[in-house]
A and B are shown apart, each in its own frame.
Chain A
Amino acid sequence: MIEPVDLIAHASDAGLVVDGRQRVLAINEAALGLLGRVAADVVGLRCDQLVSAVRPDGGRLCSARCEAIVGFGLCQPYTSPSCFVQRKDGSRLAVALRTIAIPGDAADLDRPVALIFLSRSTPDAADAANIDPRLHIHTLGRFAVSLRGCCLPLEQWPRKQAIHLLKLLASHVGRPLHRERLVEHLWPDADPEAGWARLKVTAHFLRQRLREAGLSQEAIVTTDASYLLRRDCVWIDALAFEDLVREGRAHQDAGRISEAINAYEEARKLYCGDYMEANLYADWCAEERERLGEVYLELLSGLAELHFARSEYAAAAQTCQTALVREPCRESVHRRLISCFIAMQRADSALRQFHRCVDILRAEMDVAPAPETVALIAPLVRGKRASAGLR
């Protein structure tokens, strides 16, 4: 029998082999060339980190929870005739992505599950017409800017303050930012005249780079003494994220569970990390980071509730665990997780979770759990005592 690794080695197209955990097991020279990588870069990477494919509309195709991988395990191949992959230098290439699912045990995550082939393509006229012409600004997680699926090489820009200016404008999209405030953020030690002069040069540089990237409209406008990033010229992931959460909540309130789960899951995919995570110690984005973090927790809480209502206890439990990693002191989430374990008849896990809840609340807030939290595990404790022959 020919091994998948040998098939890849002798393929004319760029190809790689992945296992059920999304790990790259083998990659051929053509794929290394296409992605601008060397073999040593690829060892230990997951395929979503290596390929980072996005759809033509800018939405992410690859993620850490790839649905195609689950399909491969069940011997279902996957195709994306038009998408973009990210090269190591940050540039994007239009490719067609095709796969061969390898039959085998679906439960074995360490076996090769698929061969993935990437062939370079040029988006045809129809695709080009469907591509969102707006500037895509990614603020959740690593800051990135893309246009028609191509990432702008921000790390190569000689004027780093232009990136900071774009971040500031994106954080106030559709609202004017006075030049004095911008100067204060960008060059705090400069006197006003020198600061304004630098701001003009930096804004000119930024506009020029956006034009060169192919942005047809003037996205940054100057009004009086202020600068403004036009809302109609940009798509910002944080705004799309909040729209989806709102949509999910509306569906949830109206009892449309499937639609609510879909909207929440789409929103969850957009939350790739905290807002402007590279600016962790900056106060200009701290408030928004916390606010969006809270929206994300609401999303997880809503999603857990919906999965629980559909008796999808494992999914609900996993969602609660994600929420508790971010915010370990939410007692209502601990309760939901304990309820999931009880529903799955995992009494030991439920009791362990209860004790974790007690410990964290005591350590962080010196508070005892609420009566309803205690009430959840009371029957389990009684059951344990009874089985141990205690009164």
Chain B
Amino acid sequence: MAGRSEARGSETPTFVVRLWLEEGRQSAPSWRGRVKHVQGDRQAYFRTLDELRSFVEQVSGVVGPPAAPAPETARHSDEDKPQ
């Protein structure tokens, strides 16, 4: 009854990412997350996209392209704010 993605060892790995915001009155809110490899039993918690990326690369065995630099508009958005 197993479909292509039913069994372990499927050729295309699938990852499900869950994100949540930890909020507190005395600290800035921060994103935290959990990434899970669907076809296996491995999962990891992360706080940054680099940690997420590292897990995906480790499980899939595929090293992705280097992280793109942040877009100009985003990088300068703080500087552009009126003082």
| A158 within 8 A of partner (CB) | no
CA distance A286 to B17 in the complex (A): 10
Question: In the complex the two chains form, is B45's CB within 8 Å of A329's CB?
Answer: yes
Q: How far is the CB of B83 from chain A (nearest CB, A)?
A: 29
Q: Select one of A281, A283, A364 contacting B45, CB under 8 A.
A: A364
Among A74-82, A172-180, A182-190, the stretch that binds chain B is A182-190
| A216 within 8 A of partner (CB) | no
What's the interface size class on A, roughly?
A: 20 to 34
Interface string of B46-61 (1 = CB under 8 A from A): 1100000000000000
User: Does more than half of chain B's interface fall in helix, strand or loop, or is it mixed?
Assistant: loop
CA distance A66 to B39 in the complex (A): 36
| B71 within 8 A of partner (CB) | no
| B25 within 8 A of partner (CB) | yes
Among A8-16, A113-121, A123-131, A160-168, the stretch that binds chain B is A160-168
Give residues of chain B (8-40) contacting chain A, Cβ–Cβ below 8 Å: 8, 10, 14, 16, 18, 20, 22-27, 32, 34, 36, 38-40
Chain A residues with CB under 8 Å of chain B are 160-161, 163-164, 184-186, 188, 279, 281-284, 286-287, 289-290, 293-294, 327, 329-332, 364-365, 367, 370-373, 375
Q: Which 3 A-B pairs have the closest CB atoms?
A: A188-B4, A283-B14, A364-B45
Task: Give 28 CB contacts A-B under 8 Å.
Answer: A160-B1, A184-B3, A185-B4, A281-B5, A281-B6, A281-B39, A282-B3, A282-B38, A284-B5, A286-B14, A286-B36, A286-B38, A287-B16, A289-B16, A290-B18, A290-B36, A327-B34, A364-B44, A367-B47, A370-B22, A370-B24, A370-B27, A371-B26, A371-B27, A372-B25, A372-B26, A372-B27, A373-B24
Chain B residues with CB under 8 Å of chain A are 1, 3-8, 10, 14, 16, 18, 20, 22-27, 32, 34, 36, 38-40, 44-47
